[in-house]
Amino acid sequence: NAGVTQTPKFQVLKTGQSMTLQCAQDMNHEYMSWYRQDPGMGLRLIHYSVGAGITDQGEVPNGYNVSRSTTEDFPLRLLSAAPSQTSVYFCASRGQGYIQYFGAGTRLSVL
């Protein structure tokens, strides 16, 4: 049982480049979300989805796009990477009791 799988684990981008962070879950959870983690700021919600075809913005959505075409996958797109987007990104899916299961994270550096 894989749980939540994120790829890649590490990525270095140049300013202005675009990329997609992949997230897949095999627990048939409807709710999925993306967070970024920066020192001293905990986890901040970027976007979330309550089911296939439904997404909404979190606290820090600017510069990021998401889509949810299937229950399993919830990719996060950086349209034009900026140094301020250097961070660790976590994808999570949520089961019963509002328990969130997190992936191992993607460490992104934007130069």
Spatial separation of the C-alpha atoms in residues 51 and 13, rounded to whole Å: 30
Residue 41 phi, psi dihedral angles, 5° rounding: -125, 10
Q: What angle do CA 105, 30, 90 make, to 5 degrees?
A: 10
Residue 56 phi, psi dihedral angles, 5° rounding: -155, 160
- Residue of the chain from 52, 61, 77, 102 that contacts other proteins (CB under 8 A): 102
Binding mask 15-54 for other proteins (x = CB under 8 A): ----------------x-x-x----xxxxxx--x-x----
Return the SS3 of 69. Answer: coil
Binding mask 60-89 for other proteins (x = CB under 8 A): ------------------------------
The window from 12-20, 64-72, 79-87, 98-106 that contacts other proteins (CB under 8 A) reads 98-106
Nearer to other proteins, 28 or 97 (CB): 97
Spatial separation of the C-alpha atoms in residues 47 and 74, rounded to whole Å: 10
Binding site for other proteins (CB under 8 A): 4, 31, 33, 35, 40-45, 48, 50, 58-59, 90, 92, 94, 97-100, 102-105
